[in-house]
Homo-oligomer: A and B are copies of this chain.
Amino acid sequence: MKTLFLVEKELYDGTQLRSLWAYLNHKIQGPSIVSWQGPCEVDFAHMVDGEDLNEGAAIRGSLMLHFVIELFGRDLAFAVALQRLFVAILKDELNQGAKILVKRPLVQRGDDLYWGQQKLSISIATVTPVSQMIHLAVNISNKGTPVKTCSLQDFKVSPKKLALKLMRLWSQEYDSILQATQKVRPVP
């Protein structure tokens, strides 16, 4: 899986969840993960999580660390399973790297990360007719978030360092998952 960190800030408004977004905007073809920093503001028309739509939830933050993953030739169930693995790796990386989290670590519930009652991240996995996509965003700041949150600033974690490390780990994990599908004999 290819990785790319965008140095320029960019608003995440949900339009990035569109097939070939990385290829058409950043020239990376094939399975990819792209990360950048920027505010988050997703209007109702671009919300894809039925839970958010049902609750009339707001999806926004003044500054978040974004990740957009695109896969090809898989299905939604696989994308959801990958999404949770991605969150698990993020959680471990933060819990191990931030001193403040050693005693009181982040906890994963489904595809969300919580620090006590404070929510750190938002995420969705969905499909296009030609690919599967995941968006995950981590609060860099708690400003502008619609619920009680925690953020990388609380943990004194550098967003860029985290992004680079996480994308490297994820790229290895993804390749290793594919390899695990190419080394096993069937059973009756």
Contact = CB atoms under 8 A, between A and B. Distances in A.
7 contacts: A20-B183, A24-B53, A75-B78, A78-B78, A80-B180, A125-B180, A126-B187
A75 B182 CA distance: 13
Interface stretch (A58-66, A128-136, A137-145, A150-158): A128-136
Band of interface residues on A: 35 or more
Contacts of A82: 81
Contacts of A24: 50, 53-54
A47 B183 CA distance: 12
Given A23-B54, A127-B130, A130-B186, 19 more contacts: A19-B186, A20-B50, A20-B184, A50-B184, A73-B181, A76-B184, A81-B81, A81-B85, A88-B88, A111-B180, A125-B184, A126-B185, A126-B186, A127-B129, A127-B187, A128-B129, A128-B186, A128-B187, A130-B185
B30 A182 contact: yes
A69 interface: no
> Copy number in this complex?
6
A88 to B, nearest CB: 5
B128 A77 contact: no
